[in-house]
Structure 1
């Protein structure tokens, strides 16, 4: 579906590389533009680049691209200088990722390029490689016969300078697994909803899981009804394409921890009978971004061979307005027997997630993390690039905030005030699925928490640590590409989940 750009590492001199372009990093320092240290350029070449930047009036701003030709001492015919902003002499890894991604996009259509941004050490080299591969991503156009695609071919191949030998081999394996995971999630989110629906989504995950050696099980509508998954059934019953629940199980020998993932997989959200405005439906193919992230992360964790058990529940449904669509005022029985009064059929995501959380609880994992494009309220609170993280365990929540931000998925912790819970009380059921209009993201999380159970029995029973990632903002980029984020699906959520699994394994 999409173009992948292979990225390798080298410890050879980047100035002698026979490639189409050499990419270096620059930043504004004391009012002038200077190359980042560690680029590997000779004094002659570095001086020539610096002089050219000054003559062209380059400012070294964030992701600013300046192309130079015929630079003395450099074999590549083109030198691309990308602005890397930051504090201090060594940029943060995320700044390098974004700069590398911007440069990779600028090199679309080129065959080869070597990146020497001034990365110093393995972590920074890996960040550059991730940025290049993710920035070069392009989703295949879906034009008819005889039409010319609008997407320009991406950079065909890239080399990152600064690593060699066994260190380069291990870094490459890590980058390939992580990048493939993010790109797979992007592919799923970008697929048109007439092609990606619950059954086809499940089929694709089954194929991928079998290739990765991950156990997979799919529940169809009949099985979902038999298992008491009233939330998923209720949301999906208005569509001619029935819902599915996909369970992925990765259980390596020696795993000391068990991580459960639950992903919202609404393959298209019309709002149900509480219909969305037409303009709000245009991007609703992305409402399965949470399930995409959980599936992709599980496969990446398996590819990396991390010694942690992972069980992922993908809660897949299409929220439509057919004859059997659920109505406001309906009462549905969820997995585990709890009843829920339906208030707004456009608040469907938390219903499918509740069944998934109840199923995850039954396995008694060490931690549960759910990922969902859940609320517009989270976008209002945090904008389009930051995910909100809530939960019942401060340590897990704060760990995910840190891991997310470090890995490039900016995150912010939100509270779950206890005064929000009474707004979910219902006169006809155990609870209703919407509450106060204000604090919408936190109200939704409060509802989800009701379906997270405990581990142990009696006095030893304790709540299972649980965190909720609301990725409604960062999962889909409607605006121009930036950094290594393309227009369309971004793969938000994949990297924090992989990083969490790695931390549990450690």
Structure 2
């Protein structure tokens, strides 16, 4: 989508739809008043009918009015000063309402938002517009992309143009990255295999000089002793891959942030097979890997002066005569032995070897992202990603990034008292704890492989996709991660 920041006169600006706001008393914003005057007070008369909802973010489309705008979308603003959550809802609902038009102009930056500047407002508007126009069309013969291709953000004064443009660039890049993650997540498992992800990473590197890609195949992983990782792919005909995408935007001496994504392209549960209901959604078990691809694409859009490594631990978890069995013991790359009590707790097995491998990059910080546990969904629902960290500064920075973008995370405990539940009678550890605190004990398992660096774990099992009528990948936590990295 083509975004722009402009100082516009709404009474002269031609567009398929102008987006304006009205407060709780139906008082229009600056440009809204100008347009209302141009139409002989028609917008105000329509608002008096009471069809526009009272909650911030409610929308009403007004068609066939006089003036240069084909349509006007009025968005309820609520009080004179908005909360960030209210403004974010206005941006999202308005973008959803105009996505079927060829172009639109938003005048929402005329509003005041508590604790937020014009750059932040423009970022939310661009992010919302980019997210709203996503549609998975690869496997549908009659589906077409939404026609919205041009989106302008109005600035009241010329001095606002620079911060608004800066905000647009970040929001648009976050949307691009989120939609890359959504596209990969929504792809069926017979399309999106570990080999497909590897080929996508190689193709991305060919297009951008600041990105290089390397792939460890099964033979190389065996040579490195990645017995935990390889125990997951044993039952599948699809070979595994450990993909490393290296973005070099900073100085050669700058230590990178390493992102590690769980990439189980389909998770049947293996021998500990899952129930059939909703098993199709296990194509989303590579949501962490998809988010890493999304972040790398966003960075290539923005070209920040930082170094970031994106690791993707890609495998398929299937049952077969060669699959790992409950009770099997494997040796991880770290040398630690693991008793596999449940083959459906496979994500931590690929991640533990990937986290050990991450140490070779001498990272400033490592963040793994994984659709790891159903227990996290029970704990936090679908609103927040679970966050664990062995470094409080890192945890706070990630939480702050989530609050800025609305892609929120909640810090969970990583206490030593939980560790004994992973003790095994036959190996250094077992891959599951008891029924209680399943998300916590999974994080505790991973923490045993991250002693040498600052580390955070994001459990996105509840936030990576939606079920039901709105089934589809969300692209989270790409906005959060991009926001965090830009602050580095």
Question: What TM-score, normalized by structure 1, do the two folds share?
Answer: 0.88
Q: CA deviation at 1:166?
A: 5.0
Q: CA deviation at 1:11?
A: 1.4
CA, structure 1 residues 307+143, in 2 after alignment: closer, same or farther (shift >3 Å)? closer
Match of 1:79 among 66, 69, 72: 72
Does structure 1 conserve the Cα–Cα contact (< 8 Å) formed by 2:119 and 2:165? no
Q: CA deviation at 1:43?
A: 6.3
Aligned length: 476
CA, structure 1 residues 285+25, in 2 after alignment: closer, same or farther (shift >3 Å)? farther
Q: Does 1:162 align with 2:158?
A: no
User: Which residue number corresponds to residue 484 of structure 1?
Assistant: none
User: Which residue number corresponds to residue 22 of structure 1?
Assistant: 18
User: Which residue number corresponds to residue 89 of structure 1?
Assistant: 80
Q: Distance in 1 between matches of 2:300 and 2:3?
A: 21
User: Which residue number corresponds to residue 111 of structure 1?
Assistant: 102
Does structure 2 conserve the Cα–Cα contact (< 8 Å) formed by 1:96 and 1:131? no
Q: Distance in 2 between matches of 1:60 and 1:37?
A: 20
Output aligned runs, 1:4-403, within 5 Å: 5-27=1-23, 29=24, 32-36=25-29, 41=34, 44=37, 48-71=42-65, 74-84=67-77, 89-120=80-111, 121-144=118-141, 148-149=142-143, 153-162=146-155, 166-167=162-163, 169-213=165-209, 214-254=211-251, 256-403=254-401
CA, structure 1 residues 294+335, in 2 after alignment: closer, same or farther (shift >3 Å)? same
Report SS of the residue matched to 1:138. coil
Q: CA deviation at 1:415?
A: 1.0
User: Which residue number corresponds to residue 465 of structure 2?
Assistant: 476
Report SS of the residue matched to 1:139. coil
User: Which residue number corresponds to residue 496 of structure 1?
Assistant: 480
Show CA shifts across 1:214-262 (max 9, x none).
Answer: 1110011111111111222111111100110001112334364421111
Report SS of the residue matched to 2:442. helix
CA, structure 1 residues 299+160, in 2 after alignment: closer, same or farther (shift >3 Å)? same
Q: Root-mean-square deviation (CA), in Å?
A: 2.3
Match of 2:456 among 451, 464, 467: 467
Q: Distance in 1 between matches of 2:34 and 2:426?
A: 72
Q: Distance in 2 between matches of 1:37 and 1:389?
A: 42
Q: Distance in 2 between matches of 1:37 and 1:386?
A: 36
CA, structure 1 residues 329+15, in 2 after alignment: closer, same or farther (shift >3 Å)? farther
Q: Distance in 2 between matches of 1:416 and 1:84?
A: 41
User: Which residue number corresponds to residue 461 of structure 1?
Assistant: none
Report SS of the residue matched to 1:268. strand
Does structure 1 conserve the Cα–Cα contact (< 8 Å) formed by 2:134 and 2:146? no
Q: Distance in 2 between matches of 1:33 and 1:344?
A: 59
